Amino acid sequence: MTLIQKIQQQNNLTQQDINEFIQTLINPDIENEEKASLLSEYTNRPLNQVEVTYLVQAMIQTMYPVQPVYPEAMCVCGTGGDNSNSFNISTTVSFVVAAANVNVLKHGNKSITSASGSSDLLNKMGIAATHVPDVEGRMNETGLAFLNATDTYPVMKHIQPIRKMMDGPTIFNILGPMIHPYKLDYQVVGVYNPDFVKAMAETLYDLKRKRAIVLHGANGMDEATLSGYNLIYEVNQETGVTSYYLNAEDVGLKPAANGTLRGGTPAENLEITLDILTGKDHSSKRDVVVLNAGIALYVSEKADSIKEGVQLAQQLIDDGKAFEQYKKTGGQVYDHIG
């Protein structure tokens, strides 16, 4: 039976099958049309949590047979694929969280499904991605490093063209946040599809994250939002995986529609981020940043609850520490910033 027949017909693929699937997709000698057919068939399968763990492990193994470690490192990211055209929330959150002395290793990429991915915004900021061999020095200096997936996983250059051939998200939107090159202690992942949240949380548990939250934002976003109840799956290596809902009003924030969070080009998103970090913006855009930062500060054990994390995030912005972290990381300051 061929691999594509197995994908089409078998409910459960073995780890060997999954390894073959990944090796096929990264093989430069196989035509993109064949890869696209394979990827499409797999993406359309019902999600299988054990297979997700195999997929993540297989992708990591292509580059990191032994993952590097930086103590108490965290990543905050979304899967993309929600078609919300929001500004770069998780990138902005990274500066706030790092300002609380959390070791943030933000893993991102050029956007496949929106106008401005994290790498696009960082280019506008003048912040260069950090290469894996340079991470320790960079972290010791600034406490925040941005890693580009095209650098950390050069094998992805064989997969990106296939993803662009396809309409909508693929299985790699789910895998992307979990194939961090570093063996993380803490992680927050936003997911565009609520059907995937539980499986991703269980996979992060399999990957031995000390603490993590996987969430689906109210009304369809891959970030926690202000527009209703956010689905949360919390991972704790000691107690397992638990789930609950979180409303922004529960943590002292005003409700707002997801449409108020729209961004634009990298230049427009840069202005939004700077307005938030400098304290100029007190709109729902700031509130969604402090909500997601509050979740991350709770996960990284800097706050005893998400509500306390939100309060800490607000303080870090109001005290100027978040903007200082932005400048410390190498972010450019433009004339319109007071």
Q: What is the DSSP string of 86-130?
A: B--HHHHHHHHHHTTT-EEEEEE---SSSS--HHHHHHHHTPPPP
Bridge partners, residue 247, by sequence: 229
Contact 113, 172 (CB under 8 A): no
Residue 337 is predicted with a pLDDT of: 46
Cα separation, 57 vs 51, in Å, equals: 10
Residue 132 is predicted with a pLDDT of: 96
119: Cα within 13 Å, side-chain hemisphere: 14
**Position of tokens 């250059």?**
157
Cα separation, 74 vs 144, in Å, equals: 10
Sheet holding 211-216, edge to edge: 144-148, 103-108, 73-78, 186-190, 211-216, 229-236, 240-247
Measured CA distances, 216 to 7, 94, 167, 169, 332 (Å):
27, 19, 21, 15, 32
Residue 62 amino acid letter: T
Name the burial class of residue 1, with classes exposed (0-12), middle (13-18) and buried (19+) by CB atoms within 10 angstroms of its CB: exposed
Measured CA distances, 238 to 69, 205, 212, 214, 241 (Å):
20, 10, 12, 17, 9
Contact 78, 109 (CB under 8 A): no
Element (H, E) at 230: strand 229-236
Measured CA distances, 177 to 56, 259, 310, 312 (Å):
10, 24, 23, 25
Residue 270 is predicted with a pLDDT of: 95
Query: Per-block average pLDDT, block size 10, for the chain (338 residues)?
Result: 94 96 96 95 95 98 97 91 85 97 90 63 94 97 95 92 89 92 97 95 98 97 96 98 98 97 93 97 98 98 98 98 97 68
Strands 144-148 and 186-190: unpaired
